[in-house]
Structure 1
């Protein structure tokens, strides 16, 4: 990959060269030691935990380049590891990324961000054979917008608040009534659109001065109403929890998805209007056999999300399984063993020689 190196670890069953292998990749998280890798290797499969050039570099993410990097991993499995059947594992944020990969490997159709050009390698992505969605978000723009604090009035001030939209204003709830929820969701989308308007305008301003891009920060992105109101999209999740613990503390802290961006990264990954990282458009182009798995105790993916992924898939051979567990399947104790058995059994029903 030239000066944009990829890296990963290939897990295999002891003493065997597997004919079927998984590949798992995320937008920015290191998946080289993915928690399912040893479990799938124990069941006779290869597992390539694969990182693109954007591992740990979310702020500079551009989708088309990430898909080229995933293609290098798929090609390595087929040409170097001797794998006959490749299974895309779309886990967590990687669900929409791997969906986008299969979509574009089948029939490329996306446009490059902000007047860029598609590299030639983008038009030669090798398709995979099976697709598994595990604990997956609907897409990057969708999850960011659902988590955005709708009450922010000034993007440069992390403390700015519109009281009528403040989820921590006791006058608003919880519990939150339907009218407030609807108003809040509309305001979240409006915030996403305002940032997109500014990013497009700022790019034009930069171009006029001969500049290409710039960085900016995004504040307050742990504010999904479902994080504090268990009556919304009810599940087995504990109330007042997000992936960083207490959502109010996390919301006013410096850590969160999309917290640092370039203008082009915003337009490529996070914008509702311009991003090709939205899950459903790509899922509608996937016809390979597909399995959707979602746990019932997840604090960031909710019961309504998995059925949307399932319904969007164009596959005629597809399944939806709801299981017990948290997002990382650390509880109950047997959760990871159980999901590994579930996936292995599903693959072997379709690839008897796996």
Structure 2
């Protein structure tokens, strides 16, 4: 059965953009031009002339259960990829915000939608909040590496509302909470502090972890992130001193899935299973090819992953947004745990906010039709009450 016969039509399309850059950071194509791959899901009987926009820094979610279910329920949906589709090794969050702005402008000016509601899903949560804060009050003119990416001249169009769905607080803070605190030498990741190595069976610190151990571990995670950041800044300064200001450098970050909460469900508790994360066995993921920030570049580290430098901090950005916001968490989420949901909700500075939790739901709702339906109904109710449907 084609998708067109299942109550909506899926239309792939491209959004072309021009963005001058002193060097190429996305694969192939002209230096100053690119294309954003997008999917437009048009219901046979749309509930309104407003559209829900999903965007993740590296995309890949146009067929996720929530995206499809909203379209089947009668809500027009766009899933827009960023210029860094499928590869975040050189990703600059400030440029992804420009991409989101291009998607919103196209939705309004080319597709003719009246209002745009951001579906801030998972890693798209902090991106959407970052975008909206800059669209309402643009302040950023340079990336954390000092490169000129001026959001104040982009004429970013603010969205009309935000649904924060199964989202984490930021790429930088999430990576830091997941980092393997035992790694002592980035050039030799086998050099580990045995008392901080969660996967060392001889480690005297075993689940359930003591508060003292968790405090020590969290401090070591932040310290490791900051050591990498300082190395990155020193490397960039060295290139600049050698009159090579556009030079880049690729590197590997080992050990990025060693959060105590994956081994001890009493840490930031919810209904997730022990010794598991959304990517599988956390010990395997810790050094596997799909771990966060595994393959990275200097500028991208500062923009995406630096604990102190990244501008795309969902908590900081949420407090700067004026439009209605709904926050939804999943009680069995094995990626974005309850503290992230609550931190985002508590950061919202106005009263037009609400928070919900879907019992038993995992991160993606795979194989969970009842929880998926509940999530769609929550969104439908909020959209109707806010005049978006």
Query: Normalized against structure 2, the TM-score is what?
Result: 0.87
What is aligned with 2:23? none
Distance 1:346 1:289 in 2: 10
Residue 215 of structure 1 deviates from its aligned partner by 0.9
Residue 331 of structure 1 deviates from its aligned partner by 4.4
Are 2:205 and 1:172 equivalent residues in the alignment? yes
Assess if the C-alpha contact under 8 Å between 2:38 and 2:81 holds in 1: yes
More helix by share: 1
Instruction: Give the 5 Å matches for 1:1-354.
Output: 1-2=17-18, 3-14=33-44, 16=46, 18-113=48-143, 114-119=145-150, 122-169=153-200, 170-211=203-244, 212-324=247-359, 325-351=361-387, 354=389
* Closer/same/farther in 2, CA of residues 274 and 120 from structure 1, 3 Å limit: closer
Distance 2:341 2:151 in 1: 34
Residue 36 of structure 1 deviates from its aligned partner by 2.1
Distance 2:153 2:79 in 1: 21
- SS in structure 1 of the partner of residue 79 of structure 2: strand
Distance 1:104 1:34 in 2: 27
Assess if the C-alpha contact under 8 Å between 1:283 and 1:313 holds in 2: yes
Residue 120 of structure 1 deviates from its aligned partner by 6.5
In structure 2, runs of 5+ residues without a counterpart are 1-16, 19-32
Question: Any idea what the Cα deviations from partners look like across 1:225-284, whole Å, max 9, x if unmatched?
Answer: 000011212211000001221111221323301111110000011101111121111101
Residue 314 of structure 1 deviates from its aligned partner by 2.2
Q: Which moved more, 1:118-127 or 1:211-220?
A: 118-127
Assess if the C-alpha contact under 8 Å between 1:270 and 1:277 holds in 2: no
Distance 2:280 2:68 in 1: 28
Assess if the C-alpha contact under 8 Å between 2:65 and 2:366 holds in 1: no
Assess if the C-alpha contact under 8 Å between 1:67 and 1:122 holds in 2: no
Aligned length: 353
Distance 1:16 1:327 in 2: 27
Residue 158 of structure 1 deviates from its aligned partner by 3.1
Q: Which moved more, 1:108-117 or 1:138-147?
A: 108-117
Assess if the C-alpha contact under 8 Å between 2:70 and 2:77 holds in 1: yes
Residue 38 of structure 1 deviates from its aligned partner by 2.5
* Closer/same/farther in 2, CA of residues 15 and 121 from structure 1, 3 Å limit: farther
- SS in structure 2 of the partner of residue 320 of structure 1: strand
Name the Cα RMSD after superposition.
1.6
* Closer/same/farther in 2, CA of residues 333 and 31 from structure 1, 3 Å limit: closer
Q: Which moved more, 1:176-185 or 1:58-67?
A: 58-67
Distance 1:147 1:120 in 2: 30
Question: Any idea what the Cα deviations from partners look like across 1:19-60, whole Å, max 9, x if unmatched?
Answer: 111111111132333432332222222100001101112011
- SS in structure 1 of the partner of residue 86 of structure 2: coil
* Closer/same/farther in 2, CA of residues 187 and 16 from structure 1, 3 Å limit: closer
Assess if the C-alpha contact under 8 Å between 2:140 and 2:151 holds in 1: no
Residue 17 of structure 1 deviates from its aligned partner by 8.4
* Closer/same/farther in 2, CA of residues 271 and 286 from structure 1, 3 Å limit: same
Question: Any idea what the Cα deviations from partners look like across 1:134-191, whole Å, max 9, x if unmatched?
Answer: 0000111110000000000111223221112112343011121010000000000000
Question: Any idea what the Cα deviations from partners look like across 1:67-94, whole Å, max 9, x if unmatched?
Answer: 1111111111111222112100110011
- SS in structure 2 of the partner of residue 6 of structure 1: strand
Distance 1:122 1:342 in 2: 36
